[in-house]
Amino acid sequence: MSASEAMRIACEAILKNKVRSFLTMLGVIIGVAAVIIMVAISAGTEATIQEQITSLGSNLIFVQAAFTRAGPGQAQQGGLVYDDAAAIQQGVDGVTSVVVEQQSTENIKAGDVTLEDVELLGTTSEFPSVRDMEIASGRYFTDEEIERKGKLAVLGSSAAESLFGTESAVGQYITAGTTKLAVIGVFKERGLVGNTDFDSRVYLPIKLVFQKFTFNPFARFMGDRIRMIYVEVDPEADQQKIIQQIELLLVKRHDVTVDSEDFTITTQQDIISTRESTTSAFRSLLGWVAGVSLIVGGIGIMNIMLVSVTERTREIGLRQAVGATPADIRLQFLAEALLLSVIGGLLGMLVGVGGAYIFGAVSDMRTVIQPASILLAFGSAALVGAFFGYYPASQASQLDPIEALRYE
């Protein structure tokens, strides 16, 4: 019996039992679809993260104030001060620009509208270029305005919309706490980057934030505390070397030891690798789940094939009587199992691709269908069919023709 004849017989057998064949395939359909959808989801997540990372701005080193315990139950912001930024700019080679950030929260009023607990972000003049923010209308602060603690504000896009609706915000006034500020610019919409919402914030000259919005009675002696220094470095420079230099400089300036640093230095690479390790763990988990469902599908095929062999014992006996060899019988049932799993695999591919597309369209998650995952899922479905079909097929081939013909 040739392979094509075996396939034809398998086709007939499958068509003779349409409902059962479909139910048998269902496990494989679900398994293959699951693999494709899961991989599409994790690929979509990764693509989103990649985009976020590029939108963080390039070649950034983050120097962040570490929170230390100042006393029982009291967390105190660590020792980064405003002058550290200038020291880094001057004392470290390969630094192209430095941006400082300090934050506070206040209620913001504009006319009748009051927004509660809005994040105020004090920054320096290079903030838009380093953090990749674009001005939609108006302009950003100049160094001179920052130095003279100008009572000015630049609004994030959603903050502007909440306060002024469709009206132009530039040229209007807002009140932060008790301080009246002139709006000189509005940023373009940026969206969520990681957990940070750039659009709902109000941006102020950092020295104004020191003066009006943070409580720090010791500033005169210790300098103005800041939350974060963004250090933009020359892309050609050795980042690790720059990090070491910054670390040494700050350890010296703050009079701390390397073990008790009151700051942390991270790079974009650190953030990327954290995110990536999370997604790859997520992805392999999804892969296992999908793989298990494929195996369960295979066991379903084996189960039905064993039932089918039992049911068709007399048929097997007859085929043996008219000259089928054990190999012929094995081929017939193997072809049937293989065909079931391949058809199941094809249907699963349709369901998987369709499902991934629909899932991407209706949910927040993005899905990117990976051609490799389709091939992988389909290939493993065929393997599962061959693997789980082999046992029932060899059971069938070992039947004794006389016993098989007598079987009731």
Residue 277 C-beta: closest distance to another protein, Å: 56
Residue 367, SS3 per DSSP? coil
Q: Which of 16, 18, 69, 220 is in the footprint of another protein by CB under 8 A?
A: 16
Which of 381, 56, 384, 20 has the alpha carbon at shortest distance from 193?
A: 56
Closer CB to another protein, 45 or 397, in the complex: 397
Residue 30 C-beta: closest distance to another protein, Å: 29
Q: What are phi and psi of 64, to 5 degrees?
A: -120, 140
Residue 320 C-beta: closest distance to another protein, Å: 7
State yes or no: residue 322 binds another protein (CB under 8 A): yes
CB 298 within 8 A of CB 27: yes
State yes or no: residue 402 binds another protein (CB under 8 A): yes
State yes or no: residue 321 binds another protein (CB under 8 A): yes
Residue type, 208: L
Q: Which of 237, 326, 342, 387 is in the footprint of another protein by CB under 8 A?
A: 326
State yes or no: residue 307 binds another protein (CB under 8 A): no
State yes or no: residue 405 binds another protein (CB under 8 A): yes
* Continuous H helices in 81-236: 82-91, 127-130, 143-147, 157-164, 206-208, 219-222
The residue length of the chain stands at 408
Segment contacting another protein (CB under 8 A): 77-85, 163-171, 203-211, 318-326? 318-326
Q: What are phi and psi of 356, to 5 degrees?
A: -65, -40
Task: Measure the CA–CA gap between 202 and 290, rounded to whole angstroms.
Answer: 46
Could you give the count of Cα atoms lying within 13 Å of 53 in the half-sphere of its Cβ? 17
State yes or no: residue 161 binds another protein (CB under 8 A): no
State yes or no: residue 11 binds another protein (CB under 8 A): no
Residue 323 C-beta: closest distance to another protein, Å: 2
* Continuous H helices in 117-190: 127-130, 143-147, 157-164
Q: Which of 12, 134, 143, 234 is in the footprint of another protein by CB under 8 A?
A: 12
Residues lying near another protein in the complex (CB under 8 A)? 1-2, 5, 9, 12, 16, 314-315, 317-328, 400-402, 405
